Amino acid sequence: MLSSYRQIFAAPGSLAFSSTGFIARLPISMTGIGIVTMLSELRGSFGVAGLVSATMAVSAAVLGPQVSRLVDRHGQRRILLPATAVTVAAAIGLLLCARLGAPTWTLFVFAAGIGVMPSAGAMVRARWAHLYRDQAPRLHTAYSFEAVVDEVCFIVGPILAVTLATSVFPEAGVLLAGIFLTVGVVLFAAQRSTEPPVHPSAGHTGTPVILNRGLQVLIMTFVATGAIFGSVEVVTVAYAKAQGHTAVSSVILALWALGSCLAGVVFGTLKLTGSMAGRFLGGVVFMAVSMVPLLLVAESVSGVGGLVAVGGALLIAGIAISPTLITAMALVERLVPAAKLTEGMTWTTTGLALGVAVGSSAGGWVVDAAGAAAGYWVPLTAGAFGVVAALAGLGRLRAGLASQEAEPPVARTVDLER
């Protein structure tokens, strides 16, 4: 198993950009839940906390693809550093407003500014694609490894954010996220030798990426997936608080990420056959079905036993995450021209961000109105929507893959060199 992962790091500089990319990605898992925990402590409302976190997610959904389009046109280093500077400045403004008791509307303004945060995960995967575009098994392993890295981020990040916010001071989680972002991006941008080539015409030639019908299916499905992520985070924090153990929510969420991490490690070593589109649909269905036992145990068990049961349910539910996301990124790489790959991958994370916005705000509303346990109806509903979207778009995915396979190599080369 380990030999498959050792092979992908044979390329010079690959370990450096992947490890620094890990640091730069930690804020993604820390910022949202850090904001929720901070504001629930300082303002006493999960509804407001969820809306502020949702504002950041919507802003990321709008601004993220634009930042990535600039990356494809001008290079990672030239765009990463100023985008990070804007993000950190907005985060500092949010922390000051929260601490000083500024009007609530100021929280939304600075949360929107954090949405400029660059998509480090997409840029790391773009580097892997540049290295192993013609070696499908290694690219599959590289994407699987990065999915595991993502899940490690979601194991470590929430624990750090919630623990610091509840045991040190409420703003500590978001503050540390800003530090990680600054350090990670500076180190990542310094890895010049592995940076993909610049495509000055990206975004100006050919069909716009967002009009790719297969990519649209992935985006819609990822909206549902993001709604699962966002709502489970908010509802789990609220559920743990209702049981009198708020800090335990970080451990419970870490179990969810651990299930995904373990599944990703195994999935990366498999030699896959059959339809990639079919595998994606299977993952989405599993993710939706896994929300059913989560709701049942939350509504039927309380106290410490309820926390243990929710943690176990999330551990099992996590098994569906990494294989689904790995397959989705492989689909993007097949559907989108290389000159627009960073933007294409960012559109999928944009779908996730939109879903997180809907899920976190809906989860907060349901918790405030009907209690924490009832909040788990939100991820179940989101999962059902994801199944409908994936089923309805299965034909588009298959058609998009078929058209790429049928395209003459010469035409494909011209497209890649645009």
The predicted-structure confidence for 225-265, as pLDDT tens digits, reads as follows 989 988 898 899 888 888 888 778 878 888 888 888 888 88
In this prediction, what percent of the chain has a pLDDT beyond 70?
Answer: 93
Is residue 379 over pLDDT 50? yes
In this structure, are residues 142 and 128 in contact, taking their beta carbons and an 8 Å threshold? yes
pLDDT at residue 205, as a whole number: 54
Cα R_g (the chain), whole angstroms: 20
Structural domains of the chain, ranges and CATH numbers in brackets: 14-416 (1.20.1250.20)
CA distance 107 to 171: 13
Check residue 415 and give its pLDDT: 36
Residue 229 and residue 36 in contact, taking contact as beta carbons nearer than 8 Å: no
* Predicted structure pTM score: 0.73
Q: How far apart are the first and last CA of the chain?
A: 38
For the ranges 3-12, 237-246, 248-257, 374-383, the maximum mean pLDDT occurs at: 374-383
How confident is the model at residue 75, as a pLDDT? Answer: 84
Structure tokens at 196: 């993909």
Mean pLDDT to the nearest integer, 330-342: 80
Mean pLDDT of 71-77: 85
Residue 278 has pLDDT above 80, yes or no: yes
Tokens 């509903």 correspond to: 381
